[in-house]
Amino acid sequence: MRLRLTRHGVCIPGFKAAGARSGKYGVALIKSEAPATAAVMLTSNKVKAAPLLVSREHAGNEIFGIIANSGNANAFTGEAGMRDARSMCSLAAELLGGSAENYLVASTGVIGRRLDLARVESLARRAAQSLECSPQASEAAARAIMTTDTFPKLCSVEAVLEDGKRYHVGGIAKGAGMIAPELRHATMLCFLTTNARLERDELEEALAGAVKQSFNRVVIDGDTSTNDFVALLANGSSDCEGEGFQEALNLVTQTLAKSIARDGEGATKYIEVRVLGARSDAEAELAARAVAGSNLVKSAVFGGDPNWGRIVAALGYSGAELVPEKLSLYVGTKGDERRVCLVKEGKPLAIEGTQELKAAEEVFSGREIYITAELNLGSGRGEAYGCDLSYDYVRINAEYTT
């Protein structure tokens, strides 16, 4: 199988999309040209937004599409919020066909406030007029669900099999803040599509695997949202079984996850942490998340300060087994084109007056920082993706509702 990146986004062959915005409100529509099977994953937060609960009810049905809004989370809104979420599904059915039970619904924005349904309806009707299968339509849908994001997040691939048959996987996502590790499921809004032919159990297993190696590795600020939601629709319109589907889906979700990390609220730098040689993959993931989520590490990266002691401290409190005398620590640029050893088997190298410290300062002054920790205790491997912590993060969240 050969994978080729394409420009379709969520609008792979067999799917259409559209989006419309007005101020802070936006509405995205995604329509499957054939009835689709769905797999969904929800936030681990015990407060789950009404749209997620409705989508969970509908996910076992034939799914014709998705309706999503930005500007209001419709979370912690009680029975009224459930009625509003169901009204959005009814609106999608009116505009795109089928019944309300054939649609998934999602929302993002301020928690605890009633949805402005009249505004949602107006934007949805406007979006429906431009529904099409094109990269432009996919981008419009991605922009419609943005909140504090600074750019739309899209990715798609074409899988070409040995016999010449092909299928596609695509997606759009939003997320810049209220994103944290240690989730059982998703960490933001992401809508994925494929025209491969897959059974529901295959779809659910593939989505769980993809989320584990992508979105669950992202940490922006340590907060778990009430509205985190990932949905994957498969409509089989390519008449091609999903050979190699996990690999294709992993590529799309990991690309989207790294885009989210790069666009963290107020972010100026991207951080990627790799932990090798842990006792298990689970411990490696735990250690990587601790480093990527450390406010002290994130602040040091923002300031270009190679204060690697903060990285060591985060590894030490992560919960993963650590033997200081066996630890080696590196920082570098993408592809390790410039790689600096900070600590070698427990011995600090990047100390005052050394070339190692000077080289580390140069790495930390860049826009992308890659941290590698070798624990030398086993074969476990893990990764995490994050960003720095800047003054703008505080400003954005201090003014979020005002």
Question: Which tokens sit at 94?
Answer: 């009116």
Q: Give the C-alpha distances (Å, rounded to integers) separating 340 from 51, 302, 351, 373.
A: 47, 19, 12, 12
**Contact predicate 232/192, CB 8 Å:** yes
Q: Give the C-alpha distances (Å, rounded to integers) separating 101 from 92, 117, 228, 238.
A: 10, 19, 21, 25
**Contact predicate 103/58, CB 8 Å:** yes
CA distance 16 to 337: 41
- 3-class DSSP assignment, residue 298: helix
Question: Which tokens sit at 182?
Answer: 């240690």
Residue 187 among the catalytic residues: yes
Element (H, E) at 339: strand 339-344
Set 77, 148, 187, 224: catalytic member: 187
With both helix axes pointing from N to C terminus, report the angle between 281-293 and 309-317 in degrees, rounded to the nearest 10.
130
Question: Which of the 8 DSSP states describes residue 390?
Answer: -
CA distance 387 to 60: 36
CB neighbour class for 343 (10 Å; exposed up to 12, middle 13-18, buried from 19):
buried
CA distance 247 to 210: 9
**Residue 253: HSE in the Cβ half-sphere, 13 Å Cα cutoff:** 31
The sign of the dihedral angle between the CA atoms of 174, 45, 384, 242 is negative
Kindly report the CA angle at 104 between 101 and 107, in degrees rounded to 5? 130
**Contact predicate 203/161, CB 8 Å:** no
Q: What backbone phi and psi angles, to 5 degrees, belong to 40?
A: -130, 155
**Contact predicate 59/161, CB 8 Å:** no
- Catalytic residue IDs: 187
